[in-house]
């Protein structure tokens, strides 16, 4: 795989808002198939694209990659026949007969927080500018809005049809229509799985519009999750101050969810792995090609050689479920 192919693939995933992990071989000690500069991308479902080494290396790298997607932290993984604890390195025992040592740097790539604004009000315009200033993705759905009102946003569309929009745990919706299709926009927003939906309205107007949702048979639990009026109660009065209070509330909500470990809860849990009883290598149960049943339990192997060795003399090996 050429480096430009790797960059193109990573750029494509970034543009699509996908979460993934990059893995780069930074050091090796022969004999080993992975070489410095080899790179791979690990997806949230545990699949791998690219090359960082053979069968012994991949399960350990995938396991740590999926952990990195959850905690958001990079790590250096060492796979070696002589396992020894060292600060700053996640150590795995190399169980392949070829031996060798491989150091792989793993780094998660997570989508930016995404503010989805419905409406073209002055508050919406200011919020869009502030969102871009702090590095968030910003999309705007508003009829008759133009690029001059929302300079630099990532997406600007007419209407409020959110059906084709990709929603992630890092998406935050703010309805700031202010009289231009309030009910329709808010109804579209609450029908998404987004945990944060805010409605820009006064304390008098907000309950009246929320009543429309009750008439549409939107679950009361979902209606009660709406932040209305939008923003932290900091005494904001001008459109600029209100936009600041909304952005502050989004930051607060995101920080609280990160602290509770909820932001990436939609990601798959790490793959179920089993230990090859012959060589001790970790094997991905879902994709293992070599397996055999032994006294009612399934045993998994890294290669045909280990499977054959076990089947010839199963009594020699302790089966680890």
DSSP per position, 216-282: TT--HHHHTTSBSS-S--S---SHHHHHHHHHHHHHHHHHHHHHTT-TTTTSPPPPPEEE-TTT--E
Residue 267 lies in a domain: no
Closest CA to 130 of 48, 210, 13, 248: 248
Res 167: pLDDT = 79
pLDDT at 98: 62
For residues 196 and 184, membership in a common domain is answered with yes
Q: What per-residue confidence (pLDDT) applies to 81?
A: 78
53 and 150 in a single domain? The answer is no
Do 177 and 152 reside in the same domain of the chain?
yes
Q: Which of 92, 110, 128 is the last residue of a domain?
A: 110
Per-residue pLDDT of the chain (321 residues; tens, 9 = 90+): 678 899 999 999 987 878 899 999 998 887 777 788 999 999 988 889 998 876 678 888 998 999 898 888 999 999 887 766 778 888 887 666 566 788 999 999 988 899 999 999 999 999 999 999 999 999 999 888 889 999 999 989 887 677 767 777 789 999 999 888 889 899 989 988 898 999 999 999 999 889 888 888 889 999 999 999 999 999 999 999 999 999 999 999 988 876 665 444 444 444 567 778 887 677 778 778 889 988 888 898 878 888 888 888 888 886 544
265 is a domain residue: no
Distance CA 315, CA 222 (A): 58
Query: What's the confidence (pLDDT) of residue 132?
Result: 95
Within a domain: 12: yes
Indicate whether 167 belongs to any domain: yes
pLDDT digits (tens, 9 = 90+) for 115-155: 999 999 999 999 999 999 999 999 999 888 889 999 999 98
Same domain? For 10 and 99 the reply is: yes
Tell me, yes or no, whether 96 and 9 share the same domain: yes
Domain end marker among 50, 82, 110: 110
For 7, the domain range is: 3-110
Contact between residue 105 and residue 90 where contact means Cβ atoms under 8 Å apart: no
pLDDT at position 227 is 95
CA 192/CA 262 separation, integer angstroms: 17
Same-domain check for residues 317 and 195? no
Confidence at residue 134, expressed as pLDDT on a 0 to 100 scale:
95
Residues 243 and 313 placed together within one structural domain of the fold: no
Do 231 and 186 fall within a single domain?
yes
- Asked if residue 84 and residue 42 are part of one domain, the reply reads yes
Q: What is the pLDDT of residue 148?
A: 92
The reply to whether the predicted model has a pTM over 0.75 is: no
- Total domains, the chain: 3
């Amino acid at each position: 795989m050429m480096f430009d192919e790797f960059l193109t693939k990573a750029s494509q995933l970034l543009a699509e808002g996908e979460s993934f992990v990059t893995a780069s071989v930074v050091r090796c000690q022969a004999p080993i198939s992975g070489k410095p500069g080899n790179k791979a991308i690990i997806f949230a479902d545990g699949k791998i694209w690219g090359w960082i080494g053979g069968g012994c290396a991949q399960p350990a790298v995938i396991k740590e990659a999926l952990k990195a997607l959850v905690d958001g932290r990079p790590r250096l993984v060492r796979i070696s026949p002589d396992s020894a604890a060292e600060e700053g390195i996640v150590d795995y025992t190399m169980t392949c007969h070829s031996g060798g040592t491989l150091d792989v740097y793993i780094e998660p790539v997570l989508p930016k927080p995404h503010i989805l604004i419905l409406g073209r009000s002055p508050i919406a315009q200011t919020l869009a500018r502030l969102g871009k200033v702090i590095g968030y993705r910003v999309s705007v759905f508003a009829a008759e809005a133009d690029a001059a009102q929302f300079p630099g946003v990532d997406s600007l569309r007419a209407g409020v049809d959110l059906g084709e929009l990709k929603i992630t745990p890092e998406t935050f919706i703010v309805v700031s229509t202010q009289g231009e299709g309030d009910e329709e926009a808010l109804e579209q927003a609450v029908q998404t799985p987004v945990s944060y939906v805010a409605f820009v309205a006064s304390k008098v107007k907000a309950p009246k519009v929320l009543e429309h949702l009750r008439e549409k048979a939107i679950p009361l639990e979902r209606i009660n999750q709406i932040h209305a009026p939008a923003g932290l109660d900091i005494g904001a009065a001008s459109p600029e101050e209100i936009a600041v209070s909304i952005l502050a509330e989004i930051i607060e909500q995101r920080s609280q969810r990160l602290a509770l470990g909820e932001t990436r809860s939609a990601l798959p849990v790490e793959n179920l792995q089993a230990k090859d009883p012959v060589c001790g290598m970790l094997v991905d149960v879902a994709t293992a090609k070599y397996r055999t049943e032994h006294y009612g339990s399934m045993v998994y192997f890294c290669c045909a050689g280990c499977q054959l060795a076990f089947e010839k003399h199963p009594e020699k090996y302790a089966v680890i479920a």
